[in-house]
Amino acid sequence: MNEAAFAPQDAAALLRWYVDHGLDEAIGEEAIDRFALPPPAAVAAALPPAATAPAAPTPIRAPIAAPVVRPPVPLESPQLAEDARAVAQQANTIAELEEAVRAFEGCALKRTAKNTVFSDGVAGAPVMIVGEAPGADEDRLGKPFVGVSGQLMDRMFSAIGMSRERDLYITNILFWRPPGNRTPTLAEQAICLAFTRRHIELAKPKIVVLAGGTAVKAVLNTTEGITRLRGKWTSLTLDDGSEVPALPTFHPAYLLRTPASKRQSWVDLLSLDKRLKELGVR
């Protein structure tokens, strides 16, 4: 191509075409191979002096620190259970026992509960039901078994012709609701159980029905689970030396979660009805 054939305006147009296509830098006459390896001398010169010695590997994680030893968390004083037992033994009637429970300040659960939940039903009834602990509805109303599980229990006993207005006396081993319905501690159970055992002595039921695993373990002083003990008659020996037949059974709240177990509870109710007839109270 000669100069006459390539006018300056054509060169300017060519440059604009390059710019429009993103070519905004001038290059040399020889093409550069961007994939070619650099010469060994250039690589050695680019490395720092310390790079010739391998560095120590970085640990994947920091070493495990020794566990921190903390002092044990103190439990409620065992003396509180003895105090509760002494107070309970001074009560000669159910009314006196209820007054003593409401005045007792030795259980921390009382500080977080709205109400003291003592009993419901007929004192002196042939059947005394002992449950585990008040729930939210019971804490609000101050009576045991008044929520959804209590309504189920009423229907269950109604099926064998019994009601809390005539045949049942109802309480729990705990008189105050644990925060969040958590399982009560052994210390909390021991304190309240002193009153509960005296409660049974004063109520003098013909039969005690223990509803739920916590009540069964506490009242019978056993480590056996409710699934093993359910439906098996046993004898409850009280502090005054008296004995009363006891029947462990599932808690109504458990039946609401596992409806298939209602069949077993129905067998327990039929067994209870049979025993009451044998005792001549039906």
Residue pLDDT tens, the chain, 282 long: 455 555 767 777 777 776 666 666 666 666 666 666 666 665 556 555 554 555 555 555 555 555 544 444 334 567 888 999 999 999 999 999 999 999 999 999 999 999 999 999 999 999 999 999 999 999 999 999 999 999 999 999 999 999 999 999 999 999 999 999 998 899 999 999 999 999 999 999 999 999 999 999 999 999 999 999 999 999 999 988 999 999 999 999 999 999 999 999 999 999 999 999 999 987
DSSP labels for 52-118? GSPPPPPPSSPPPPPPPP-PPPPPPPHHHHHHHHHHHHT--SHHHHHHHHHH----THHHH-SS---
Identify whether 171 is part of a domain.
yes
State the pLDDT at residue 70. Answer: 44
Beta strand 234-237 pairing with 120-121: unpaired
- Indicate whether 1 belongs to any domain: no
User: Does the residue 142 lie in any domain?
Assistant: yes
- Return the pLDDT at 75: 43
Determine the structural domain holding residue 178 and report its residue range. 78-103+115-278
* DSSP 3-state percent helix, strand, coil across the chain (nearest 5): 45, 10, 45
Please tell me the total count of domains within the chain.
Answer: 1
Whether 49 is in a domain gets the answer: no
For position 155, what pLDDT does the model report?
97
CB distance 126 to 170 below 8 Å: no
| CATH code of 218's domain | 3.40.470.10
Cα angle value 229/147/172 (rounded, 5°):
45
Is 245 within the bounds of a domain? yes
In a domain, 23, yes or no: no
- Both tokens assigned to 141: 């109303």
CA–centroid distance for 94 within its chain: 33
Spatial neighbors of 166 by CB under 8 A, at least 6 apart, are 122, 125
- What's the pLDDT at 13? 75
String of b and e for 36-55 (b: at least 16 CB within 10 Å)? eeeeeeeeeeeeeeeeeeee
Domain-located, residue 39: no
Does 87 map to a domain?
Answer: yes
**How many residues in the chain?**
282
Instruction: State the CB neighbour count (10 A cutoff) for residue 113.
Output: 21
Structure tokens at 104: 């007792």
Amino acid letter, 30? E
